[in-house]
Structure 1
Amino acid sequence: MKRTVKRTCSILLSTVFLCIIILTGCSNTGQNSGNAPVTEDGKLDTSKKVELQFYMLGDAPKDLAVIEAEINKMAQEDLNTTVKFNFTTWTDWDQKYKLLLSSGQSIDLIFTAEWTQYQSYAKAGAFLALDELLPVAAPELHKFVPEDMWNAVKIDDSIYTIPATYKEYVNNGFVYREDLRKKYDLPKPVDLETFEAYMDGIKKNEPGMMPVSLNSDVIGNLHDRYTEISSFAGPTKYGVGVKYDNPKEPFIFWGSEEHKAELEMLKRWADKGFIPKNVLNIKDTLQSQITSGKSAAIFGDNPTRFNDAVIKIKASQPDWELAYTPFAEKTGYSTPVHPIHNGFAVPKNSKNAERALAFYEKLVTDKRYNLFTQYGIEGKNYEVDANGYYKLIGDAQSNGFPREGMNGWAWRNPEFMLFDEGYDGVKAIFAELDKVQKPDIFTGFAEDYTSYQAEKAALEQVEKQYLYPLLAGLVTNIDEGIDTFLAKAKQAGLEKVQTEYTKQWNAYVEEQGIQ
């Protein structure tokens, strides 16, 4: 009974959060989106001192207070502003994010991406439109971001986030301990079959090590990786699949033969001991598990994060060796990151929208701000060698601010970026991916769940209760597990959600001229 009550309350809370965002968004549309306060000479008025609330996802670096103090010295002088940097931690970040945007709390800058549902939140009115504010409050930033990128992040013809301008690929690839692969003469992971054979070898020869890094996000770390390497579907939100080469014909993935094949593979992995029985309770990041030696591989990570792991391992375990195989070697194509992927928005409840944009302009375009917040203090956290390469001082445990320690992917400035020598390998990966690049047709889609927000919230809870255990390989009878999951999903309103979502997708494809 308690479990039922807890689940019901969770559904209701989720629905309430969404309703609050929608309702307050509608009533506050346009708030602070008019002309910014300016002085007689046309400059932004900074006569009133303010403190900005800045929210980033993930875990705060140990030296955050030191960096914050340095930044505030400059911001106080330049903008009569101080900033409080807040981090959600990676534990239940999605619920925390939702709460931040629905609670009415005053927040001035918050990270956005397609994986934080930027498009849906923007449609729901969670963020301020920036079109009129940017030219006055952040004119240099407005010029710095190319016009095509501003256009790419627009939702309903308005700008709600500031995109990153660094071109990169965040498509996944296998990350694995190359030293162990060589030692035990294991196959190079290039597809699902060879990756499983690699894990078999690790399990046999290194019984005290997990073959693969996993945590409670089984959707992101197992399902999404499976669909990407299988190359048969794009996003499968609400069980609706879209094939890259046939985007005009979305299909129902949940309950299909492809879905069953995925679950059978994951059940086999669980039976072999690749997936820990307590995986749904693990909160460690995938990267920390491999850099600490707990795990021997990651089932899909992007080239940049792979390189970050290489840096940490080189500093603490120079005898270890990491290797990387892009999924594109199997799928035959890759997509450059969409401008929506990394950005910062001004939430609708910000009391200091203009100053927030002025400060963010400093983060992106002022080298002092950028280097401090991306790399820490030179001589303490990092050094630059004679060839211009970044070098971490100490190791991942002793260093209080590793490279991009604030998860500042969104305010990367290609003109200021520092790379370690190993990043030459990432650039080489990017060069190969350039040869097979195709446009990202998925990220520009902006879902509007206003008409099915209650069903959406209920469906999320059904997924966690019935789909997650299937993905974790914890359900003995897969056919019965799928039937139970689909029955509960239908009770939650699955058909309504799928119908409306598919209709919106088809309209998007038609509007964008996607073939």
Structure 2
Amino acid sequence: MTKMKRPAAAALVGLFGMSLVLSACGSSNNDNGNTASNAANDTKAANDTKAANDNQSADATDVSKLKPYKLKMIYEGPPQPDEAKVEEALNKLLEPKINATIDLAPIDWGAWDDKMNLTIASREPVDILFTAQWNGYSKNVAKGAFLPLDDLLQKYGQGILSSLDPAFLEGSKIDGHNYGVPTNKEMAAASGIVYRKDIADELGIDMSTVKTMEDLDPIFKTIKEKKPDMIPLYTTGGFQQSVLDNLGDATIPGVISKTGTDTTVKMNEESDAYKSYLNLAHDWFQKGYINKDAATSQLSSGDAYKGGNVFLTFQPLKPGKDAELANAAGIGGKLAEIYLTDKTVSTGETAGAMLAISSTSKDPDRAMMFINLLHTDKDIVNLLNFGIEGTHYTRSGEIMTPTDQTPQYSPGVAWELGNQFLNYVWNTEDPDKWAKFKEFNANAISSPALGFVFNSDNVKAEVGALANVTKQYQRALETGSVDPNKVLPEYVAALKSAGVEKVIAEKQKQFDAWLATQK
């Protein structure tokens, strides 16, 4: 990856880089047996993508003491036609291990925030919820939505503890406690683009010239002229800045740079870089390069490729992200990716995808047993992520090949669920994908705030008010749908009226106190 030296370009990359597709009670006993779930003593098995099942230790939970229980798991992703078939297959594996069945309840990307907030506010009985630092993790901990997991991890999460890099659990703590189990995946972050390589080749577009956001303008112009029915850039807004550290929750204002040494928490919406990005996005929108419904569409950028009329999206990148998106969209081999930022790592990456246990769960112990299986049981995690072998894919060793039934179960959310290093890879992916993940995690630039997570308890009212303001303005601005010269001043004024300066001051206070302990 090339270091970005041009200040304006680097700022735009950071701001337009990562498109997003997003206290607690103690655990209950529920007569769930006396010992931890399987894989407690076998670190190697939990990490070995080739022999995990063969090397796993036997399940130590006394299933005879467990009453039947149906787990409900809500996560972000498109509902699948064959979901019921996969549930049935999962239940056959889960019942002998933890005497549980599963109700998969995915919520499509566009509807996620509203439905998730309603689920939490209504205190709906749920067992497992997807969460992330960019999707309100800290705010929902402050609301009491998630249980603290410290004791549950020790009792029923030994497979997690033995397979997951300790940095994930340390970095995702709030006030010393875990409220979510991170996905075992890449830890570094980078931003860039994913594009239709076949279309670029067809039109003779040299994508190697793309080093900055501005370099895309002539490419979008060519697509618009030669493929008038194709959307040059598809986005739904909600961008997360990969070179900015949100200090634990991207939905709460106040940032520092990951790549600098300045530890002053600032309001990003007042920065020159943010204004430059908004002007660029609005220019593209006016030229017709961005989908007209960008401010309202509920179709994720990944799913948009399925329609065949999208050329490019901005994405958080990692090795093989292009192949993952292509396979999920049924266009294997037709996408490619270009990195536009350096690799960085912050607390946000350690908490970039997690499964939490809801404080409304009627059996938190069983919920943790299930999450533990997602980190240790190769059959279960691959079934959940890719469907039924022989139906939704065929397999030779670690390599999967699609079938005509693959579109019936292709959720494309493996990055949310369990231990990615246990997953098979598609025949259009690099067979060395997981080794390259480990390489990707190495030598990333560390944020000055790595390890710090903001606790929003003292400003809960302001955080709630700011969320409403953000919902009103941010997506329209960041998709280029409105004139930033007119609307950005309104947005900034509304943020200040809602208490953003108090929130930033509280972030600074906590961050300074944390920094003092690091010396």
TM norm structure 1 = 0.80
Partner of 2:41: none
Matches within 5 A, 1:85-100: 85-100=104-119
The yes-or-no answer on 1:311 pairing with 2:327 is yes
Give yes or no for contact 1:112–1:345 (8 Å, CA) kept in 2: yes
Cα distance in 2 for residues equivalent to 1:200 and 1:142: 51
Range with greater deviation from structure 2 (41-50 or 367-376): 41-50
Hey, which of these two has a bigger chunk of helix by percent?
1
Cα distance in 1 for residues equivalent to 2:477 and 2:133: 25
Deviations 1:452-475 (A, max 9, x none): 322222222223333433333343
Matches within 5 A, 1:329-408: 332-335=342-345, 338-385=349-396, 388-394=398-404, 399-402=407-410, 405=412, 407=414
The yes-or-no answer on 1:325 pairing with 2:331 is no
Cα distance in 2 for residues equivalent to 1:411 and 1:500: 34
- Partner-residue secondary structure (3-state), 2:338: strand
Partner of 1:22: none
- Partner-residue secondary structure (3-state), 2:270: coil
Partner of 1:504: 510
- Partner-residue secondary structure (3-state), 1:86: strand
Give yes or no for contact 1:373–1:408 (8 Å, CA) kept in 2: no
Cα distance in 2 for residues equivalent to 1:373 and 1:417: 12
The yes-or-no answer on 1:468 pairing with 2:482 is no
- Aligned partner of 1:243: which letter? S
**Cα distance, 1:74 vs structure 2:** 2.6
Cα distance in 2 for residues equivalent to 1:405 and 1:310: 10
* Partner of residue 234 from structure 2, selected from 201, 213, 231: 213
**Cα distance, 1:352 vs structure 2:** 0.6
* Partner of residue 82 from structure 1, selected from 94, 98, 101: 101
* Partner of residue 166 from structure 1, selected from 178, 181, 185: 185
Partner of 1:483: 489
* Partner of residue 240 from structure 1, selected from 250, 254, 270: 254
- Partner-residue secondary structure (3-state), 1:91: helix
- Partner-residue secondary structure (3-state), 2:454: coil
- Aligned partner of 2:122: which letter? S
The yes-or-no answer on 1:422 pairing with 2:417 is no
- Aligned partner of 1:38: which letter? G
Residue ranges of structure 2 left out of the alignment (5+ in a row): 1-22, 37-59
The yes-or-no answer on 1:30 pairing with 2:45 is no
**Cα distance, 1:431 vs structure 2:** 7.5
**Cα distance, 1:207 vs structure 2:** 1.2
Distance 1:56 1:212, change over 3 A: same
Give yes or no for contact 1:165–1:339 (8 Å, CA) kept in 2: no
**Cα distance, 1:71 vs structure 2:** 1.5
Cα distance in 2 for residues equivalent to 1:154 and 1:484: 35
- Partner-residue secondary structure (3-state), 2:299: coil
Give yes or no for contact 2:255–2:268 (8 Å, CA) kept in 1: yes
- Aligned partner of 1:325: which letter? I
Deviations 1:431-452 (A, max 9, x none): 8745652235557442222333
RMSD, aligned CA: 3.2
**Cα distance, 1:365 vs structure 2:** 1.7
**Cα distance, 1:210 vs structure 2:** 0.7
- Partner-residue secondary structure (3-state), 1:38: coil
Cα distance in 1 for residues equivalent to 2:466 and 2:189: 28
- Partner-residue secondary structure (3-state), 2:194: strand
- Partner-residue secondary structure (3-state), 1:461: helix
- Partner-residue secondary structure (3-state), 1:133: helix
- Partner-residue secondary structure (3-state), 1:211: strand
Deviations 1:97-127 (A, max 9, x none): 2222232222211222212232343344322
Cα distance in 2 for residues equivalent to 1:47 and 1:36: 7
Partner of 1:190: 211
- Partner-residue secondary structure (3-state), 1:300: strand
Distance 1:30 1:259, change over 3 A: same
- Aligned partner of 2:408: which letter? G
Give yes or no for contact 1:455–1:497 (8 Å, CA) kept in 2: yes
Cα distance in 2 for residues equivalent to 1:360 and 1:237: 26
Give yes or no for contact 2:398–2:424 (8 Å, CA) kept in 1: no
Give yes or no for contact 1:248–1:509 (8 Å, CA) kept in 2: no
**Cα distance, 1:85 vs structure 2:** 1.4
The yes-or-no answer on 1:274 pairing with 2:289 is yes
* Partner of residue 298 from structure 1, selected from 304, 313, 316: 313
**Cα distance, 1:252 vs structure 2:** 3.1
Cα distance in 1 for residues equivalent to 2:266 and 2:123: 38
Give yes or no for contact 2:255–2:266 (8 Å, CA) kept in 1: yes
- Aligned partner of 1:455: which letter? E
**Cα distance, 1:192 vs structure 2:** 0.8
Higher relative contact order (CA 8 A, sep 6+): 2
**Cα distance, 1:479 vs structure 2:** 3.2
Deviations 1:305-330 (A, max 9, x none): 421233356x55x7x732211123xx
- Partner-residue secondary structure (3-state), 2:86: helix
* Partner of residue 58 from structure 1, selected from 77, 102, 106: 77
TM norm structure 2 = 0.79
The yes-or-no answer on 1:70 pairing with 2:101 is no
Give yes or no for contact 2:184–2:421 (8 Å, CA) kept in 1: yes
